[in-house]
A and B are shown apart, each in its own frame.
Chain A
């Protein structure tokens, strides 16, 4: 009698164990999963703004319309906080200044040389990204005027 009780007790315990395993499976379904999206840094916001404006600029340059000043917002590439601030070393600031200088040269170009000067501006974006973040390069390359 005692043995039978022991066996049935084990059966009961085993059935509970099976039940617990099922609960664990259910908990793996990620029903409450919510996407954790990247929150853009100040520098990313500035660069996205520059990209959007440069799409319009590409169209203007193609039509022979040359900008006459460097947008003030663009100078924020020297002060905005990056995703990884420690990455912004002396080379970054040197290249950022080269970009601004190249844009300044573009503002003085005539319609005959505007495309060449504009493409140099785009090249300076890509040159910097080759050193710091290569991901956006294919997107930036779309700014080139053939």
Chain B
């Protein structure tokens, strides 16, 4: 009898877990993705290129207008006036919006879609140090920056940040 009772409790608990796991699948199709808009509020998330595929998408071009989707790696901790996006394990892209708008200071790690122009640029040491300071790096870390950095950059006209 004790056997039966314990088996029943364990089975019911596992069943309850399975039911809980299935619930999100059922709601995924109906879920509406909620975005916060910054800059151009008319843009949509359609046809965005994954950030990880951006270098391939550029295909040797110096600059290209494009809409991309990815995850925000870092954001300026003073004003939210720039962010960075990881393109792969070793390369990241600096994103600015020329102060036409600012992003939330707590949007690091959030998924986004943005449109604008991707281009190759070289960021001078003075600006790299300024960015490091904005990102909250220590003085020691800032002093290690001694060379300009050739990088893929992005000038965004609009950014959509996924809220949930």
CB-based nearest A residue for B24? A26
Q: Do A22 and B20 touch across chains, with their CB atoms under 8 A apart?
A: yes
Q: Tell me if A135 and B81 are in contact (CB < 8 A).
A: yes
Question: Restricting to B111-164, which residues have a CB under 8 Å from any CB of A?
Answer: 126-127, 130, 161, 163-164
A19/B20 in contact, CB under 8 A:
yes
Cβ of B88 under 8 Å from chain A: no
- Count A-side interface residues using an 8 Å CB cutoff: 28
Q: Does B91 contact A (CB under 8 A)?
A: no
Assembled-state Cα–Cα distance A96/B78 (Å): 22
Which of B110, B126, B130 has a CB less than 8 Å from the CB of A33? Answer: B110
Q: A4 contacts B3, CB within 8 Å?
A: yes
- A35 x B36 contact (CB < 8 A): yes
Q: Which of B72-129 contact A (CB under 8 A)?
A: 78-82, 96, 98-100, 102, 104-107, 110, 126-127
**B contacts with A: majority SS:** mixed
Structural contact, A15 and B107, CB atoms closer than 8 A: no
Q: Are A134 and B10 in contact (CB under 8 A)?
A: no
Once bound together, how far apart are the Cα atoms of A1 and B1, in whole Å? 11
A8 CA to B99 CA in the complex, in Å? 62
| A135 contact set on B, CB distance < 8 A | 79, 81-82, 96, 98-99
Task: Name the distance in Å between A14's Cβ and chain B's nearest Cβ.
Answer: 9
A16 on the B face (CB < 8 A) = yes
Q: In the complex, are the beta carbons of A38 and B80 less than 8 A apart?
A: yes
Q: Tell me the complex Cα distance, A68–B142, Å.
A: 45
Enumerate B1-56 residues with CB–CB distance to A below 8 Å.
Answer: 2-3, 6-7, 9-10, 13-14, 16-17, 20-21, 36
Q: In the complex, A36 Cα to B106 Cα: how many Å?
A: 6
Residue with the greatest number of chain B CB neighbours at <10 A, chosen from A12, A22, A35, A138: A35
A136: which of B9, B99, B105, B110 is its contact (CB, 8 Å)?
A: B99
Are A83's CB and B164's CB within 8 A? no
CA distance A65 to B124 in the complex (A): 39
Closest to B7 in A: A8
Knowing that A15-B10, A37-B102, A136-B98 touch, tell me 6 more A-B residue pairs with CB under 8 angstroms.
Answer: A19-B13, A22-B20, A30-B110, A37-B80, A38-B81, A135-B96
30 example contacts (A-B, Cβ-Cβ < 8 A) are as follows A4-B3, A5-B2, A8-B6, A8-B7, A9-B6, A11-B10, A15-B10, A15-B13, A19-B20, A22-B17, A29-B164, A30-B163, A30-B164, A33-B164, A35-B104, A35-B107, A36-B106, A37-B80, A37-B104, A38-B78, A38-B79, A83-B78, A134-B126, A134-B127, A135-B79, A135-B82, A135-B96, A135-B98, A135-B99, A139-B100
- Chain A residues at the B interface, C-beta cutoff of 8 Å: 1, 4-5, 8-9, 11-12, 15-16, 18-19, 22, 29-31, 33, 35-38, 83-84, 133-136, 138-139
